[in-house]
Structure 1
Amino acid sequence: MVGRFPIEDVTPSVACGRYPAKAVVGELVPVSATSYREGHAALGCSVRWQGPDGVERPVVRMTAGEFGSDRWHATIRPDTEGRWIFAVEAFGDPYLTWWDAVTKKIDAGQGPEDLANDLAEGALVLEQAAALVPAGDRERVLAAAGSLKDKDLPLFERVSPALRLRDLLWEYPVREQVTRTTSYQLWVDRKKALFSAWYEFFPRSEGAEVKPDGSPLRHGTFVTAAERIPAVAAMGFDVLYLPPIHPIGKVNRKGPNNSVVAGPADVGSPWAIGSTEGGHDALHPELGSDEDFRAFVRKAEEHGLEVALDLALQCAPDHPWVQEHPEWFTIRPDGQIAYAENPPKKYQDIYPINFDRDPEGIRAEVLRVVRHWIARGIKIFRVDNPHTKPLNFWRWLIWQVKKTDPDVLFLAEAFTRPAMMAGLGKIGFTQSYTYFTWRTSAREMREYCEELVASVDYMRPNFWPNTPDILHESLQRGGPPMFKIRAVLASMLTPSWGLYAGYELFEHEPRPGVEEYLDNEKYQLRPRDWAGAEAAGRSLAPFLARLNRIRRENPALHWLRNLRFHDVDNPSLICFSKKDPDSPNTVLVVCSFDSLTAQWGNLTLDLPALGYEWHERFTVRDELTGAVYDWGQHNAVRLDPFTEPAHILTVHRRV
């Protein structure tokens, strides 16, 4: 922008202000801009902002950044959900101009006669300022103006009262030739949009029984699945994500491990949604009734868990939409509806929706479905493959929902090209799955996380070590220590993380030729002996509970903007920290990427990032083991994957 004063490169700004930037209630949001002016006169900058209620918040004065950069910085803290707006203003600051000139002239030895005009000009500025400051300070400002006019006073006594007003007139400046940018948007979500711990399980597997060959004997229900809720809560998770819970298509149903032919008792994939029993607004009859589902949600809430549902906009061939709205699908030259393909893979049990055919009808129906589940207490949706649907559809849907239910959150399950993943974040998705799973070295992880921190205004990451679709080679071959390593990294690097059931049992047998589980739960029931594994000491559940407890108790881990990396001379190790902006709480993590051998490393810490001077020493307490160490800038560490492959350290000043 070019007005009286240029104001450029305002942040946060997403796609040149086309979309709102993101924040959560209580988050310190940095605002910055580049602004400058001609000559030597002083320039001031400030942020004007208002909340969803339309009420202006107190103006925030910006401070200059690195000398010569002409970059200005401030922070704002939104305190309620909804759409906020802000603008940056630049203005001439005659008091600072005067202050700078007068102090330099006095330092150069100039006397009252030389400064006659300067003193008179200063008095005029202070008289203007008296009308801007709080009533309790008005007399002090006018008295300083009077001193500048009093020729009988020594120069020091004439000038000193005016010079001492610098702090006051920083907060209440005289502003000349004010230039203002256009307004920028900031969408503010509830805290869980940024800080959350997810756990995914299939309700149909909880309480189920199967034959030795894996074929089903008894289907789990909402009632039997509810029995698992206390254990999930005990591990410290606060979001319980359910894959689709709708009727599953019978036409072209897939068998175990995605086999083309299904047996009469095979349960099929929950993502093949819809049958004669109903569609996206219906419940699978074997899971239970609407009241059973409501009771499941209530029990989760009683244990501190919020239920998230899968929103998968695709249909089985026998979904009611196929009969009622054939125009919503792509018709092949042979007259058949096109099924889903990702060549050479074929998904004969799923029909993709063609969003370019009757877009208004599709939009209205999907919005109705989403509101149907909101009415049943669902405020979080994990959206399946959003990158295969038009972005303008998602933008419309998300903001239609936000108009009436601003606390609804959407997680994008999109493992795709970077531009598309960023685009989904920009148009309104609350959180996003990421490439975390495939970052398997310290260097790769550091570089990727630094990219994410730079993108925090529009893309909030949610780190998952595993999903029903993804069993990475590192978990297939890394043994139990690797399960600990990936859990530490996922839970400590980002405020939101999640995992899929079975992780705590170290499930790692792969399906040959693909990066997923053998006997995949997507296609068959998979009951697990949770109690037996824990009783035998073969469960990671206590460790996961400790990680989530550490997360809850340390507010530094609730944010992403504060992630900082530190140098370590061993490429198998990573070191990072988070410092809470509102408290002394600081967490320092050192983690190994090697699950097979012990690793030594020498750390070089960026002490100012931890809140210390370069020479200071401090105490760190390992929250995993309870050990206490005396540390400084340089420290040696040894991590053994068969004891603890990581240090999670809280930092404390020495007493």
Structure 2
Amino acid sequence: MSGRIPIEDVTPSVACGRYPAKAVVGELVPVTARSYREGHAAMGCQVAWRGPDGASRPVVRMRPGPHFDDRWHGTIRPDAVGEWSFTVQAFEDPYLTWRDAVGKKIDAGQGPAELANDLAEGADLLDRAADGVPVRERDRVRAAAAALRDGDRPLPERVSPALDLADLLWAHPVRTLLTSAPTQPIWVDRSRALFSAWYEFFPRSEGAVLATDGRAARSGTFRTAAERLPGVAAMGFDVLYLPPIHPIGRINRKGRNNTLVAGPDDVGSPWAIGAAEGGHDAIHPDLGTLDDFRAFVAAAGQVGLEVAMDLALQAAPDHPWVTAHPEWFTSRADGSIAYAENPPKKYQDIYPVNFDDDPEGIRAEVLRVVRHWVDQGVRIFRVDNPHTKPFDFWHWLIWEVKRYDPEVLFLAEAFTRPAVMHGLGKIGFTQSYTYFAWRTSTAELREYCTELVAAADYMRPNFWPNTPDILPEHLQHCGPPMFKIRAVLASLLSPSWGIYAGYELFEHVARPGAEEYLDNEKFELRPRDWAAAEAEGRSLAPFLARLNAVRRDNPALHWLRNLVFHEIDNPALLCWSKRDEQTGNTVLVVCSVDPGQVQWGNTVLEMPALGFDWHERFTVHDELTGARYDWGQRNVVRLDPFVCPAHVFTVHPQDGFTVHRQDGRPGDETGATAGDRTDNPAGPEGQGWTS
């Protein structure tokens, strides 16, 4: 810090400025600092900031907090991808000091003679101020200075023009004792870094043909997988994530359900990367060619999908790296190469990379691989188990890639200790998987989401109800209503969310004693008849499409920092809202976490968070059922999980329409619920479900 006025606790600041904070284009980024000075003279704070082009942006005046804690608050809104910077500056504000003192003296009855020095000093101050205001306002400031010097005017007429400059000189203050805190970096990504809807499928399963014994007869290809793209896009997803698409090792290949011995028709795990056909820069020949992949990426783009690729830094025993660079792997006492283990689990088909013996060689190779796929049109990478590789490597790789193409995004797949997950966010990962799959009670969800919002400067969550590795017990046993519940929670609590294919078909049969799918698609082909499921009403696709449409159409749901929880007296119900301050768009959600019982609750809403005063009433429109109701701070809700487990309201000023009570009679306290409607965008519940 340079200057006289203390400036402390500047945010956003990640690891004391060692790493850049995160934002996306168009995001309102809160900037805060604690600043104070000696004595009673007025002071101010401001944010001076620069864009990636190095050009200064208009200075933002900060406002003091409401609790006399010397905390100052401002907001900046970056408008381009790249590295931004800002600094908080504190200064003495002589106009505010003068205005406060003169006002108090006049209120105390002092006249022109007693105020002679104050009036002269004020005039001199306004002469200085005139040079710092817009040209169109300079005559007004100079006229106020002349009035202060005009002894022929009554005192009120001399002083009033100067006092009326408060708003102008707040925006364009006279600043002395200017002090600057250290500059802080902010990396600004494109909007998809924060707001995205992901869908994962295995391209080899799309269009695959099975033999009578269920084993692979013919793999799907990029061309057959492209036929599924319109269906994914119709559900409103915008990122299509593909597990590894590279050649799969034959040595120690795993069989169906992770068995140690593979049959001749077993396809193996895509994460066992590398074989005679090539490694991380190659395409599995069953899927097609590099030209086929580029065509697939283009076809996805035509329906509004961006392809995300898996980056798994590990190798099958027959990966070309193993022969060419044995120093990139760990040798055991008997001379063999160590395979991956997470005791008691063993992954005999995978060799972890050892980053210690030739770190420069590994860095160069991985950077080459990533750039290769960026050149093929890939701008999003889902990184497998990044917490098992050196943090300094990831920090180096991510920023090298962003220098190559600043629009590339990285999702960290790391289900590990909280500090490690937060650390990955700090060093540069764009998004992170989370513990959402295991947060089931309203108390757990509220606590966890509050933690994530507090980390919004560097960690962006992506909520997944399921993955190929994760089939939580509540999805195994609680029926279709739970699939709806978890989709509502994931898609509307977090600006980014995703599902693994089969979720919309209520797939829920687990391998005994495990939270993972029986007949896991990681080890076998799993073609699905999507069209038949939708035609027969056995698909959640219409409901997912509606959720994603609500997300797309409501800017409030595009952000993380604006999440506010509201009180409700039933622990089986969770109530939250999001408001977009730029547009005024507000979404209010009440969701049940009970898939088996009707639940009632009474809300006590934080009205200012919705844009209203405490006494006001407003209209809510249920985006899932089409119903409209009159609400206020206190409301009664009823949710039937077998019809619709959530209200998803858009909030509007009161429009005077007729209110309906839960029994259907006119009233003035509560609206009906989704349970009172017969239309159901998800189709009949319970179909397609077997225990």
TM-score, scaled to structure 1:
0.99
Distance in structure 1 (CA, Å) of the matches to 2:231 and 2:356: 44
Q: Deviations over 1:442-469 (max 9, x none)?
A: 0100110011111000000000000000
Stretch moving more, 140-149 or 594-603: 140-149
3-state SS of the aligned residue for 2:23?
strand
Deviation of 1:480 (Å): 0.3
Which residue matches 1:378?
378
Deviation of 1:24 (Å): 0.4
Distance in structure 1 (CA, Å) of the matches to 2:492 and 2:276: 45
3-state SS of the aligned residue for 1:615?
coil
Q: Which residues of 2 match residues 144-223 of structure 1 at below 5 A?
A: 144-223=144-223
Cα contact 2:3–2:177 (8 A) shared by 1: no
Q: Deviations over 1:228-260 (max 9, x none)?
A: 001000000000000000000000000111111
Distance in structure 2 (CA, Å) of the matches to 1:506 and 1:238: 21
Deviation of 1:214 (Å): 2.3
Distance in structure 2 (CA, Å) of the matches to 1:440 and 1:422: 21
3-state SS of the aligned residue for 1:546?
helix
Aligned residue pair count: 655
The reply on whether 1:128 has 2:128 as its aligned counterpart is yes
The reply on whether 1:519 has 2:519 as its aligned counterpart is yes
Deviation of 1:264 (Å): 1.0
Deviation of 1:211 (Å): 2.8
Which residue matches 2:434?
434
1:60 alignment partner AA? V
Deviation of 1:143 (Å): 1.5
Deviation of 1:113 (Å): 1.4
Deviation of 1:3 (Å): 3.5
The reply on whether 1:625 has 2:625 as its aligned counterpart is yes
Distance in structure 1 (CA, Å) of the matches to 2:286 and 2:167: 69
Which residue matches 1:391?
391
Deviation of 1:135 (Å): 1.7
Deviation of 1:532 (Å): 1.1
Which residue matches 2:499?
499
Deviation of 1:210 (Å): 1.4
Which residue matches 1:265?
265
Which residue matches 1:84?
84
3-state SS of the aligned residue for 1:308?
strand
3-state SS of the aligned residue for 2:45?
strand
2:433 alignment partner AA? Y
Distance in structure 2 (CA, Å) of the matches to 1:179 and 1:203: 58
3-state SS of the aligned residue for 1:13?
coil
Which residue matches 2:13?
13
Distance in structure 1 (CA, Å) of the matches to 2:354 and 2:163: 69
Which residue matches 1:94?
94
3-state SS of the aligned residue for 2:636?
strand
Which residue matches 2:635?
635
Which residue matches 2:480?
480
3-state SS of the aligned residue for 2:447?
helix
Q: Deviations over 1:495-523 (max 9, x none)?
A: 10000000000000000121100000000
1:438 alignment partner AA? W
Q: Deviations over 1:110-132 (max 9, x none)?
A: 11111111111111111111111
Which residue matches 2:362?
362
Q: Deviations over 1:406-426 (max 9, x none)?
A: 000000001000000000000
1:103 alignment partner AA? G
Cα contact 2:281–2:372 (8 A) shared by 1: yes
Which residue matches 2:448?
448
Which residue matches 1:346?
346
Stretch moving more, 129-138 or 356-365: 129-138
Distance in structure 2 (CA, Å) of the matches to 1:136 and 1:50: 26
- The gaps in structure 1 that reach 5 residues or longer are none
Distance in structure 1 (CA, Å) of the matches to 2:631 and 2:127: 55
3-state SS of the aligned residue for 1:577?
strand
Deviation of 1:212 (Å): 4.1
TM-score, scaled to structure 2:
0.94
Distance in structure 2 (CA, Å) of the matches to 1:374 and 1:481: 40
Deviation of 1:185 (Å): 0.3
2:357 alignment partner AA? R
Stretch moving more, 16-25 or 64-73: 64-73
1:47 alignment partner AA? V
Q: Deviations over 1:157-176 (max 9, x none)?
A: 11111111111111111110
Which residue matches 1:302?
302
Which residue matches 2:646?
646
- The gaps in structure 2 that reach 5 residues or longer are 656-691
Deviation of 1:2 (Å): 7.3
Q: Deviations over 1:297-352 (max 9, x none)?
A: 11000000000000000000000000000000111011011000001111000000
Deviation of 1:11 (Å): 0.5
Stretch moving more, 164-173 or 385-394: 164-173
Distance in structure 2 (CA, Å) of the matches to 1:566 and 1:136: 46
Deviation of 1:648 (Å): 0.4
The percentage of counterpart residues that share the same residue type is 74
1:319 alignment partner AA? H
Q: Deviations over 1:556-594 (max 9, x none)?
A: 111111110000100000000011111121110000000
Stretch moving more, 581-590 or 179-188: 581-590
Cα contact 2:2–2:181 (8 A) shared by 1: no
Distance in structure 1 (CA, Å) of the matches to 2:413 and 2:601: 36
Which residue matches 1:142?
142
Distance in structure 2 (CA, Å) of the matches to 1:109 and 1:274: 88
